[in-house]
């Protein structure tokens, strides 16, 4: 069966690495972005230049109509989606009581409802084919809590609940649902925190470095692979020992 992966938020950072690793593993990939058209288009063009199937599609994951349209386009151009990687996410740092309603709502809309929207859109094809795989990207902050990132931590904890509950609901359809909880990964999301915080995070990571986007991409590829065919509803923490 042809393997088609839709990776939300794959123009940069972890999602981009996931798209590259899955493409190298033989998946046709749908690269999703919200703003970074050039980065997404050039990644898709690079992969096509290497003889692989890839398209770039703009959609705000928080917008269910846009997500449905993206999935329709992916299915029309690549075929039914066999693997969904719910990676698109945003972060916000600040005191809990300083966060405006709109910022709180947007956080949950992108990080949680975005994953719901994408899962709901790919499921009809997966259920009718009795197979498929969903890998959600949570965060170690969703497992242990994060001061000054309350909304982010809530959204990522909810991703764990989504993963476990969907895994149970979809197991009879032979659809596996797992999640990866990354530690501190060297991407724009961590770079905005500044050098001092970065060094503090490295010091707190037992393995002595930040993770790379590829570290997470390989964890995703494992959970998506046949090697993980008996694994569902699980959280794979990839954090260099931070939460141990």
Stretch that binds ligand NAP, among 77-85, 119-127, 171-179, 185-193 (CB under 6 A): 185-193
The answer to whether 182 contacts ligand NAP (rule: CB under 6 A) is yes
CB 5 within 8 A of CB 29: yes
The answer to whether 12 contacts ligand NAP (rule: CB under 6 A) is yes
The answer to whether 163 contacts ligand NAP (rule: CB under 6 A) is no
Candidates 27, 33, 141, 152; catalytic one: 152
Single residue of 29, 119, 123, 184 touching ligand NAP by CB under 6 A: 184
Q: Encoding tokens for residue 55?
A: 């398209």
CB neighbour list of residue 90: distance below 8 Å, 6 or more residues apart = 106, 107, 110, 111
By CB under 6 A, the residues from 25 to 64 that bind ligand NAP are 32-36, 60-62
Rounded Cα distance between 124 and 211, Å, is 35
Tell me if residue 33 is catalytic.
no
Size of the site for ligand NAP (CB under 6 A): 31
* CA 18 from centre of chain: 9
DSSP for 5-58, written as a single string? EEESS-SSHHHHHHHHHHHHTT-EEEEEESS-HHHHHHHHHHHHHTT--EEEEE
- Which one, 144 or 227, has the nearer CB to ligand NAP? 144
The answer to whether 139 contacts ligand NAP (rule: CB under 6 A) is yes
Single residue of 56, 185, 221, 236 touching ligand NAP by CB under 6 A: 185
Which H or E run includes 85?
strand 83-86
CB 231 within 8 A of CB 178: yes
CA–CA distances in Å: residue 237 to residues 75, 94, 219, 220:
31, 25, 9, 11
The answer to whether 237 contacts ligand NAP (rule: CB under 6 A) is no
Stretch that binds ligand NAP, among 70-78, 86-94, 119-127, 230-238 (CB under 6 A): 86-94
Q: How near is the Cβ of 201 to ligand NAP at its closest, in Å? A: 8
Single residue of 82, 87, 163, 232 touching ligand NAP by CB under 6 A: 87
Q: Encoding tokens for residue 201?
A: 């995070």
- Which one, 156 or 176, has the nearer CB to ligand NAP? 156
Residues with active-site annotation: 152
Residue ranges in contact with ligand NAP by CB under 6 A: 8-15, 32-36, 60-62, 87-90, 110, 114, 137, 139, 182, 184-185, 187-190
């Amino acid at each position: 069966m042809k393997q088609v992966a839709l990776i939300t938020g794959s123009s940069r950072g972890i999602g981009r690495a996931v798209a590259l690793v899955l493409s190298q593993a033989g998946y046709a990939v749908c690269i999703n972005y919200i703003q970074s058209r050039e980065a997404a288009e050039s990644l898709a063009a690079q992969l096509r230049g290497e003889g692989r199937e890839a398209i770039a599609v703009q959609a705000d994951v928080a917008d269910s109509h846009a997500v449905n349209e993206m999935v329709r386009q992916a299915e029309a151009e690549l075929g039914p989606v066999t693997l969904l990687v719910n990676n698109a996410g945003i972060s916000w740092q600040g005191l809990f009581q300083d966060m405006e309603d709109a910022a709180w709502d947007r956080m949950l809309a992108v990080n949680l409802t975005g994953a719901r929207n994408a899962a709901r859109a790919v499921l009809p094809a997966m259920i009718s084919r009795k197979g498929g795989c969903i890998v959600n990207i949570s965060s170690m902050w969703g497992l242990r809590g994060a001061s000054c990132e309350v909304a982010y931590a809530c959204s990522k904890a909810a991703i764990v609940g989504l993963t476990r509950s969907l895994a149970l609901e979809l197991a009879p359809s032979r659809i596996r649902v797992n999640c990866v909880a990354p530690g501190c990964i060297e991407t724009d999301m961590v770079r905005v925190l500044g050098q001092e915080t970065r060094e503090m995070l490295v010091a707190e990571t037992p393995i002595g470095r930040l993770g790379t986007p590829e570290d997470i991409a390989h964890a995703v590829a494992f959970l998506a692979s046949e090697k993980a065919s008996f694994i569902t509803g699980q959280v794979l923490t990839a954090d260099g020992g931070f939460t141990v």
